[in-house]
Amino acid sequence: MTEILRRYGPVLTGAILLAVALWLALLVVLPQLMMIGFSFRPSLPPSKLGGPEDVFTVKNYLTLWTNSIHLAIFLKTIWASALVTLTTLAVCYPVAFYLAQVAPKRRLPLLILMLVVPFWINELLRTFSWYIILAFNGPLNAILLGLGIIDEPQRFLGGDGGVIVGMVYVYILFMVFPLYNAIESLDRNQIEAARDLGAGWLRIHRRIVLPHAKPGIAVGCIMTFMLAAGSYAVPALLGGPNSRWFTEIIYNWFFEGGNWNQGAAYAFILLVLCIGFILGAMRLFRVGLADIAK
């Protein structure tokens, strides 16, 4: 705060803080409070609103635990989002390490540009491109058939596999850049000293790189998990009846069932899950908000 005051002065700093406060209040806090209020009230016709039946209740929350199908989808969403997060971390870590410690400085802008350019396209279009790639008569099946790996086309769409692949691609930048920012600040002399002392690459990464990159790993995992758990477009396009996501259930309550109260309860449960994941990730990687903010 002192640095901000020194750089921008009291007037501009106050204006920035006021704008941030208004943004948080109008777009974050108030909608969440309204959602919580909806979630604790029954779904009633307009004529009964404010009547004796319009009371606070936890019935909307109990619905999840009494509906075995919705509960199974909720639990599936949790482990599938965790799998997406771990897969994205495994894919992005080598990329981030190469960009931060191996790639020549003169080539780095071009490499980052090549990584970013595909994401200038809308998320729906990028997801639909995977729909084409994974289709029964799509390019992936054609390549696998041409190489003799499979004897007949496979159905990659309609299951959890296609959804997970699509999510890993769609959210890959949210993992790459936090990792890159964390690993870039590592002094390469530490790696060279470890190699001179006979440490192998696995030990170097385990003892030097990974501990240094913990804040970046925490940020990347938090962002990827929250985006995956809250995704609607990717499972809707690449999934099927057997791979429904919890967000699809929430969407159905709001826009098809017209039960905003039940949808708000489900949405709040998902919000609590994401907050719990954030706190768990911070505890697992032993980082605080100040470390993540870097």
Q: What integer pLDDT is reported at residue 99 of this predicted model?
A: 92
CB atoms within 10 A of CB 181: 17
Of 262 and 289, the structure prediction assigns the larger pLDDT to: 262
Q: What integer pLDDT is reported at residue 246 of this predicted model?
A: 93
* 153: pLDDT strictly greater than 70: yes
* 239: pLDDT strictly greater than 90: no
Segment 206-218 mean pLDDT: 90
Q: Is residue 94 situated within a structural domain?
A: yes
Q: What integer pLDDT is reported at residue 27 of this predicted model?
A: 85
Residue 188 pLDDT grade (very low, low, confident, very high; cuts 50, 70, 90) = confident
Q: What integer pLDDT is reported at residue 177 of this predicted model?
A: 93
C-alpha span between 95 and 175 (Å, rounded): 10
Torsion of CA 203, 205, 208, 213, to 10 degrees: -160
CA 14-16-19 angle, 5° bins: 110
Q: Is residue 19 situated within a structural domain?
A: no
CB atoms within 10 A of CB 260: 18
- The fraction of the chain above a pLDDT of 90, given in percent, is 31
CA distances from 288 to 141, 170, 212, 284, 292 (A): 46, 27, 14, 11, 6
Residue 1 pLDDT grade (very low, low, confident, very high; cuts 50, 70, 90) = low
- The fraction of the chain above a pLDDT of 70, given in percent, is 96
Q: Is residue 254 situated within a structural domain?
A: yes
Q: Is residue 50 situated within a structural domain?
A: no
Q: How many residues are there in the chain?
A: 294
Q: Could you give the number of structural domains in the chain?
A: 1
Domain CATH for 64: 1.10.3720.10
CA distances from 77 to 32, 156, 231, 255 (A): 22, 19, 10, 20
Which contiguous run of DSSP H or E holds residue 6? helix 2-24
Segment 240-268 mean pLDDT: 89
> Mind giving me the DSSP string for 147-213?
TTS-SS----TTSHHHHHHHHHHHTTHHHHHHHHHHHHTS-HHHHHHHHHTT--HHHHIIIIIHHHT
Q: Where are the beta strands (DSSP E) in 212-252?
A: none
- 57 HSE (CA, 13 A, CB side): 14
* 4: pLDDT strictly greater than 70: no
* Highest mean pLDDT, choosing among 51-55, 133-137, 266-270: 266-270
Give tens-digit pLDDT for 60-118.
999 999 999 999 999 999 999 999 999 999 999 999 999 998 888 888 889 899 888 88
For 146, phi then psi, to 5°, come to -65, -35
CB atoms within 10 A of CB 231: 24
262 and 43 Cβ atoms separated by less than 8 Å: yes
The mean pLDDT value of the chain amounts to 87
Q: What integer pLDDT is reported at residue 51 of this predicted model?
A: 77
Residue 269 pLDDT grade (very low, low, confident, very high; cuts 50, 70, 90) = very high
118 and 130 Cβ atoms separated by less than 8 Å: no
Q: What integer pLDDT is reported at residue 293 of this predicted model?
A: 61
Q: Is residue 146 situated within a structural domain?
A: yes
C-alpha span between 89 and 75 (Å, rounded): 21
C-alpha span between 104 and 99 (Å, rounded): 8
Residue 292 pLDDT grade (very low, low, confident, very high; cuts 50, 70, 90) = low
Q: Is residue 244 situated within a structural domain?
A: yes
Of 156 and 225, the structure prediction assigns the larger pLDDT to: 225
* 50: pLDDT strictly greater than 80: no
* 175: pLDDT strictly greater than 90: yes
Domain with 246, as residue range(s), is 58-293
Q: Is residue 285 situated within a structural domain?
A: yes
Q: Is residue 1 situated within a structural domain?
A: no
